[in-house]
Chain A
Amino acid sequence: MKLASFLLLTVCVVALLVVTTVRGEEPVSERLVNAANEPENWLTYNGSYESWRYSKLDQISRHNVKKLIPVWSFQPGIVDGGLQATPIVVDGVMYLTSSLNRVFAIDAATGKKIWQYYHEIGEFPSLYGTWNRGVAVGHGLVFMGTADNYLVALDAGSGREVWKVEIENGGQCGCGITGAPLLVKDKVIIGVNGGDSAHRGYLNAFDAKTGRHVWRFWTIPGPGEPGNESWKGDSWKYGGGSTWLTGSYDSDLNLLYWGVGNPAADFYGEDREGDNLYTESIIALDPDTGKLIWYYQQIPHDVWDFDSGYEIVLLDLPYEGKKRKLIVTPHKSGYVWVLDRTNGEFLNAWSLVENTNWIEGIDRKGRLIGRNEPVVGEYKLLCPGITGGRQWNHGAYSPKTGWFYSTALEWCQQIKAFPEKAREGMSFFGGEFKLVPPPKEEAHSHLSAYDPVTGEHFWRYKSKYPLLASQLVTAGDLLFTGDAEGEFLALDTETGQRLWSFQTGSGHRGSPITYSVNGKQYVATPSGWGSAVAGLLPQLWPETEYFQSGATLFVFSLANFGVSNEVRSE
């Protein structure tokens, strides 16, 4: 007995040693896989590979949130496009990007700038803006995709350029990068925009250390590949299928999940008859090779420009009584899809919006019922419009409440399709639209708490103007987000009650985060109105034309820490 337990102990110790050495070799992936366990940091775009945008920090809570005060702010100096990023925080240093591909390293406690890097933008596509949504950090490097379709790696300590690679000429492809990269092991995974251009989309992996290309997954299969038959004629060459936001990763299954956007031409589908794989799909890839493991196409032959690009939230929850590995993924169509993430099996789809007529519904097998498509040459009322039943800005999941929090947009469009021939790299919409209110009410927006699997909702926070910022939820029972009028808000995660707000002077289109330095919790939010969708709002709310743009990062902490209110006001 004794010997046996001694042996067991030895085995355990040896095993532990082995584990530690393995960890030593792969500090990046280990840390990223366990990102949720170091809430002092915000290590990756969506907070964790599971994309919860949830933090275990609870120093700031519903009980003391009223004492939240700004402690520092930071201005990148470019207001065009607002400030849309998710800041990344690693061990007391914040990495922030702004429009025109500026990157800043900032002392996360004081706001003092450590270094900056300005990427010089060359030829870039006209359609997708100069803004940027954030970096990935690891291997001592900071990675950023650029508006002219480069991927850049900087030394995290000094900001010096280590490598950069032009993925495809931005002027030629009509594509570029606004989304944040995802670091998986030794690879930087980076998507591309260009889904509304005559362009063939892809997802790329580069070696983090050298910048060498490792694999490319074409989101539209070429001739001879399975799926190419879902495109009429040569339409696959210019069929869109962008990968413009950031995916998720399941380290146990070793599967990388990414959303593939709409096919092009967006609204005119006759020249691309067929299902148009793998547009409007969630794809699961082997991150080491880029091989497709499974896919699930949410909208075969999309003609509404409904991107499947939004956050892919990984949850392990009971479904019909059995615990399943799930994907919950909101979609521009206003629906949220629930899939089995081991194999892509359809489980459920539920709607965030009340105003929807593009389909009548989705059946038990995931098939769309009663498609209502734009027609050539005449305007038709469709809800939601191209601007979406939800925008890309991300929702959040709290394991404390078990709820998923998301915004939704109640608006419609008058849309008219027209035939259009592909011109490489040029816009390729095949239609025109005007935003209009829903038939029976005013256009508006809401933020709600949902059961992620069934879509049952528990509370609703209403807003006159579209809510276009991401959500952050914390173990302090708080939800942080910002609105179009510049208010940065804290709501109670259980009731939706507005507990605190701060006027930042310009509307919100970015993603708040939280972190801590030396035991003190901070909440940081980009503020700065801008972007394509913000620009469309005057069609419904003329006064929003005069919502001033801006670009400032605000950082808050509790007043009873450090500098007090009194001292400040003197």
Chain B
Amino acid sequence: MNKDIWIIAEHFENRVRPVTSDLVAFARKMGGEVKAVILGHPVKPLAEDVAQKTGCEVTGIDSPGAAVYNSEVYRNLIKKLCERNQPRYLLVPHTPLGWDFAPALAVDLGYSSISAVTDFNPENSTFIRQILNGKLLEELKSPPGCSAVVTVMPGSANPEPDNTRPPGSVKILEFESPPVKTRTIRYLPAKPGTVNLKDAEVIVAAGRGLKVPERIELIRELASLFKRGAVGASRPLCDQGWLPLEHQVGMTGATVSPKLYLACGISGALQHTMGMKNSSLIVAVNTDRKAPILQVAHFCVNTDLSKFIPVLIKNIRKFRG
């Protein structure tokens, strides 16, 4: 085993996805030699793009089976590469693609497996990750002498601007497609919605703290007081059918950055904050003084939303005259 850190680049429809740069930045923070691996068909233009943007040495694995993502193909081909030259860490983005193959790949390789890390502590070579929806953190390490597959939460490191380093070298390896049982049939783009969260200036977002669906009316009323106000939601509200899916904010919903984001009864799980943390002003209304949403909120009203929101509505009306 050597000390290399390999990152698995992610791409979609012939474009390298920005999460790849996050991963490179995370790996560089860890120290050591950082190399990028990308799978595809044809892979050369993608590999060159990664080398150009990040300055990493890139290995492109070209295989007809890797034209679109398939977990079995990815596992099989990455395993082949690791058997030639075992890295210390294999970093994978914690995305619907990465979390899919990473744990199984760790089993295939006999590596340890650490998922959804948000930070690295170089002093002890440890990884930090959230547990219990962000109420606690834990610190883990891959035992000395053992390689690890690690999935990294998008946004866990600030990427350098593209093209700031001299381009890295590119090596293309051609591998045969392995036989697979799983078949990827097609991609279904998101259904277009009628709610345009992206253009809203103010998003009043509701979470499980609402407790009863009737309170959505309060949220609607508050949002309607702003010229370009819209109603957002955490995932559980959409899962329960209280609001249509198009209101969902977060990893599996919309990514938004309004001028004002009012998070009402939302705990602030990473999957939610990933979609709204760049809003200009974030205000949380939450009964829990320690809710993880406070890690991203600028202001917090530590009060029961069912009491506070009616008073806020009344005061905004009064102010508007």
Q: Is the A/B pair a real complex?
A: no
A-side residues, CB < 8 A to B, are none
